[in-house]
Amino acid sequence: QVQLVESGGGLVQAGGSLRLSCATSGRILNTYTMAWFRQAPGKERDFVAAIRWFGGNTVYADSVKERFSISRDNAKNTLYLQMNSLKPEDTAAYYCAARWRSIATVPRSSNEYDYWGQGTQVTVSP
Chain-centre distance for alpha carbon 63: 14
* Mean pLDDT of all residues in 15-22: 98
- What pLDDT is attached to residue 56? 84
Tell me which H or E stretch contains 69.
strand 68-73
Arithmetic mean of pLDDT, 73-87: 94
Question: How confident is residue 84, by pLDDT bands cut at 50, 70 and 90?
Answer: very high
Q: Per-residue pLDDT averaged across 77-81, rounded? A: 94
The residue type at 91: T
Q: Which amino acid is at 65?
A: K
Tens-place pLDDT, residues 25-75: 877 777 789 999 999 999 999 999 999 988 889 999 999 999 999 999 988
Three-class secondary structure assignment of the chain: CCEEEEECCEEEECCCCEEEEEEEECCCCCCCEEEEEEECCCCCEEEEEEEECCCCCEEECCCCCCCEEEEEECCCCEEEEEECCCCHHHCEEEEEEEECCCCCCCCCCHHHCCEECCCEEEEEEC
